[in-house]
Amino acid sequence: MAISTPITPTPTQRPGSGWEPGRVVAAVAAVLFLLLGTGLLLGGGAARLADGPGRDDHGFLMSPAETWWSPGYAVQSERAEFHADATIVDLPGRVLGTMTATADPTAPGPVFIGVARSVDVDRYLGGVAHSTIVDPAGHHRNVMMPMARFFAGGPPSVAPAAADFWVASASGPGQQSITWEPANGSWTLVVMNSDGTTPVAANVAVGAEVPALGTLGNVLIVTGLVVMALSCVGMLLVVRR
């Protein structure tokens, strides 16, 4: 009598999806690099746009005009600090190029605008009633009016134009503008009435040449295109696999 051994059925293997963890990680990395390349490309385009139509008639990139106002005798900016390694002493000039500032009085009478080292400005305005800009992005009733902190005191010892410590200054009726070359150190911009009276009110804008902006835009665009091309190749290889 023959005894037959039962045949155990072989389990059928389901076909894998092919998207193992390594392949998923590669696809995610390709998408992230695609986003990075897009960001670089958009940044480069923005830089090139600012380097062209974004400049004024004199080639400066200008900030929006803000209303500087003080019940005292002067309005000063916060300190602008420029520091570089001793081996790159002209770094502010190379990055910013020539800087400019304009003051357009909103009240009758001539206006004064000047820039100087902060230590000299502090000495000049020490004990003088003035305001210091503390929030350049402040708004008041749909007007670009930065927040300022007021310091009580008396009048200045001499009219601003009579002081000799200004690196660049201008005084007179109507809009006044100054230009200067930035250097290492701490600097302060000051706006006053030319005759040293109160109150002070003027629309102020600051700008710079930023000579490397066009080159930076080109570098960002080329880098973005390369990164996007590599990410597309990577994504194609992942999908075809």
Tokens of 47: 């830089």
- What band does 11 get if pLDDT is binned at 50, 70 and 90? low
What is the spatial distance between Cα 188 and Cα 185, in angstroms, rounded to a whole number?
10
CA distances 86 to 78, 89, 97, 187, 210, Å, are 25, 5, 19, 19, 21
pLDDT in tens, 93-118: 567 889 999 999 998 899 999 999 99
User: What is the phi/psi pair of residue 110, to 5°?
Assistant: -75, 155
pLDDT in tens, 117-131: 999 999 999 999 999
Using the structure block, give the residue that is written with the tokens 């390709």. 30
What is the spatial distance between Cα 68 and Cα 90, in angstroms, rounded to a whole number?
30
The structural domains of the chain, with segments of one domain joined by +, span 27-52+215-240, 61-208
Stronger pLDDT, 153 or 21, i.e. the higher one: 153
pLDDT at 87 over 80: no
Half-sphere exposure (Cβ direction) of 230: Cα atoms closer than 13 Å: 13
Half-sphere exposure (Cβ direction) of 218: Cα atoms closer than 13 Å: 6
Pick from 205, 193, 197: which is nearest to 105 by CA? 193
**Based on the number of CB atoms within 10 Å of its own CB, is 70 exposed (0-12), middle (13-18) or buried (19 or more)?**
buried
Task: Report pLDDT for 69.
Answer: 95
Share of the chain above pLDDT 90, in %: 47
Class of domain 61-208: mainly beta
| 49 residue type, one letter | L
Cβ partners under 8 Å of residue 13, min gap 6: none
Task: Report pLDDT for 89.
Answer: 47
- What band does 210 get if pLDDT is binned at 50, 70 and 90? confident
- What band does 4 get if pLDDT is binned at 50, 70 and 90? low
pTM for the whole structure? 0.74
DSSP string, 51-102: HTTTS-TTS-EEPPPEEEEESSSEEEPPPEEE---GGGTTHHHHHH-SEEEE
pLDDT at 223 over 70: yes
What is the spatial distance between Cα 64 and Cα 204, in angstroms, rounded to a whole number?
8
pLDDT at 226 over 70: yes
CA angle centred on 229, ends 223 and 230, rounded to 5°: 90
